[in-house]
A and B are shown apart, each in its own frame.
Chain A
């Protein structure tokens, strides 16, 4: 597969520099409004706002962008901290651009610079992720893992097109995997907890770390440290009804618990939780849980969540590093994992949202925003929701197959 990327003439350092170059070229020309919205919200940190969840509803009338802040506190403090450094360098023009709700900002002179500089933290974390993945494989596979992470178009579009903050919890989940593989279970739980301080999903992986050790004291510590770190980060804000409404009661949290079998009276058997419980339960009860396969378990459990709910395209980043590691570890999974990723990538592109389609090219020309969505194009031939449903079924089917493969795998130490 290395030849496919033309790797034979390059060393690992060259792959990273080439990837850096590719990103620098593309960064200013791809744009999704989300990065501007959460940057505008996080810029309040430089004005001394510590509780953004309370601040927005209380000052909505005077704010130009009125959306709630839907991420967890560490996102606000990390991104806001970066903006504290950036804003004085860029001056008042940047603040005006951030707060411009008219749509005209995309044509303003500084747009390329602002988009480029806003994406620098994403670039840094993206390259760090590449380095972590390189560190996790044998010398002979380093070029391949670097190329698969750095040159695959899916992660490029998700990170630099959709520009969401998911890359921060992703790096913590990969660090957590590294720690588990080195028998540092408590540290792994801590890293998952910190990751969940950005976005809640890494907590899904905590049960796998829990079962990675047989030592009950360590297991208790894993729970205490993992959940404790989440509470330490978000506990202060849990008292705020606005935090609960905008963060805990929105997005992933509600989707995970509202998709499934309706028992009536508002009670739902959560499909993602059910599937993960079956997968993990089978691994543990059948004695087939293997610590060396925990990367695969992380991948499957996150895929089970995504394939059984209505997900955002940027959530695919959660599984990307684990998918890359699996493809490098065992090339027999390349086609299945690539197909899963392709189908999972196509589904959100069929949503009726211009910013998810050609609108990403709006810095080049805002007229890309006037292009019809794929949803409208598909609607000429077939009901888009029916197509999305069919693709979702195929996706879930493929993920269940992957889960069954790993659940049946025997051999090796626990």
Chain B
């Protein structure tokens, strides 16, 4: 039985230790991948964002690259017309239908509007990048503009914030979720107690 306890302790330690490496946390969940919008040289995508206050680290989204376009996908984060951050992703690193992160130096956001602009000057219309979007409501995302035309939708994305020191927040939910399923949690505990009892009973019998 000592062996089992050591085994489980190693598991718990592994879980706790690996959590220390989590320094970026998602806020909210990526929406449905309902449809996609193409991006090429003449068609720029503008996505207003209303992020919660904090240190924004990256923005994730799902992008299609059905023609294996090797051109660049450029992104800009703007606030009141001023460029806060910008970056470039090579089409080589955009798999068709892959989840792609726009990484940038962390930027302090205060709850006001910022705009994410996605463009690809060296891409022609027949071979666009296509960003997945959804019409599900989400307070973080404003209405998407594609080629200057406003859509009743937004990109299906997720924002990531700096997250060190949030271990309590990370593990708090697990106990709650476990106990919330009362029938199962009682059965599970009873099963464990029963097995422990059975183990010692077998030990006494020998």
Interface residues of A (CB under 8 A from B): 5-6, 9-11, 13-14, 17-18, 20-22, 24-26, 28, 102-104, 107, 109-113, 116, 151, 358, 361, 363-365, 367-368, 370-372
Binds A, one of B3-11, B37-45, B72-80, B117-125: B3-11
Q: A14-B206, A367-B170 are in contact. List 19 more A-B contacts (CB 8 A).
A: A11-B203, A14-B203, A17-B199, A18-B3, A21-B192, A24-B195, A25-B8, A102-B32, A109-B177, A112-B177, A112-B184, A112-B185, A116-B184, A358-B18, A364-B171, A367-B163, A368-B22, A371-B18, A371-B21
Q: With A109-B180, A370-B24 given, is the CB distance from A10 to B203 under 8 Å?
A: yes
Q: With A18-B199, A358-B18 given, is the CB distance from A112 to B178 under 8 Å?
A: yes
- A17 x B160 contact (CB < 8 A): no
Cα separation A45 to B195 with both chains bound (whole Å): 34
- A18 x B1 contact (CB < 8 A): yes
- B202 x A17 contact (CB < 8 A): yes
Rounded to whole Å, the gap between the CB of A41 and the closest CB of chain B is: 20
For B191, give the chain A residue with the smallest CB separation. Answer: A24
- B171 x A111 contact (CB < 8 A): no
Rounded to whole Å, the gap between the CB of B156 and the closest CB of chain A is: 10
Partner of B174, one of A22, A24, A365, A372: A365
Residues of chain B contacted by A363 (CB below 8 angstroms)? 174
Residues of chain B contacted by A372 (CB below 8 angstroms)? 21
Rounded to whole Å, the gap between the CB of A46 and the closest CB of chain B is: 22
Partner of B15, one of A11, A13, A109, A361: A361
- B192 x A361 contact (CB < 8 A): no
Q: With A21-B4, A365-B173 given, is the CB distance from A116 to B188 under 8 Å?
A: yes
Q: With A24-B191, A364-B174 given, is the CB distance from A370 to B8 under 8 Å?
A: no
Interface secondary structure of A, over-half rule: helix
Give chain B interface residues in 1-55, CB to chain A under 8 Å. 1-4, 7-8, 11, 15, 18-19, 21-22, 24-26, 29-30, 32
Rounded to whole Å, the gap between the CB of B188 and the closest CB of chain A is: 7
> What are 25 contact pairs spanning A and B, CB under 8 A?
A5-B3, A6-B3, A11-B203, A14-B206, A24-B188, A25-B192, A26-B11, A28-B188, A107-B173, A109-B177, A109-B180, A110-B181, A112-B185, A113-B181, A151-B3, A361-B15, A361-B18, A364-B174, A365-B19, A365-B171, A368-B18, A368-B19, A370-B26, A371-B18, A372-B21
- B177 x A14 contact (CB < 8 A): no
Cα separation A324 to B163 with both chains bound (whole Å): 43
- A367 x B22 contact (CB < 8 A): yes
- B181 x A367 contact (CB < 8 A): no
Instruction: Decide if B196 is an interface residue (CB 8 Å cutoff).
Output: yes
Q: With A17-B202, A361-B18 given, is the CB distance from A113 to B11 under 8 Å?
A: no
Q: With A5-B3, A21-B196, A364-B171 given, is the CB distance from A370 to B181 under 8 Å?
A: no
Cα separation A26 to B9 with both chains bound (whole Å): 12
For B196, give the chain A residue with the smallest CB separation. Answer: A21
- A17 x B195 contact (CB < 8 A): yes
Rounded to whole Å, the gap between the CB of A401 and the closest CB of chain B is: 31
Rounded to whole Å, the gap between the CB of A8 and the closest CB of chain B is: 11
Instruction: Decide if B198 is an interface residue (CB 8 Å cutoff).
Output: yes
Rounded to whole Å, the gap between the CB of B87 and the closest CB of chain A is: 17
Rounded to whole Å, the gap between the CB of A14 and the closest CB of chain B is: 5
Cα separation A402 to B82 with both chains bound (whole Å): 65
Residues of chain B contacted by A113 (CB below 8 angstroms)? 181, 184
Rounded to whole Å, the gap between the CB of B167 and the closest CB of chain A is: 9
Residues of chain A contacted by B18 (CB below 8 angstroms)? 358, 361, 368, 371
- A21 x B195 contact (CB < 8 A): yes
Partner of A17, one of B7, B163, B171, B198: B198
Residues of chain A contacted by B7 (CB below 8 angstroms)? 22, 151
Cα separation A110 to B185 with both chains bound (whole Å): 10
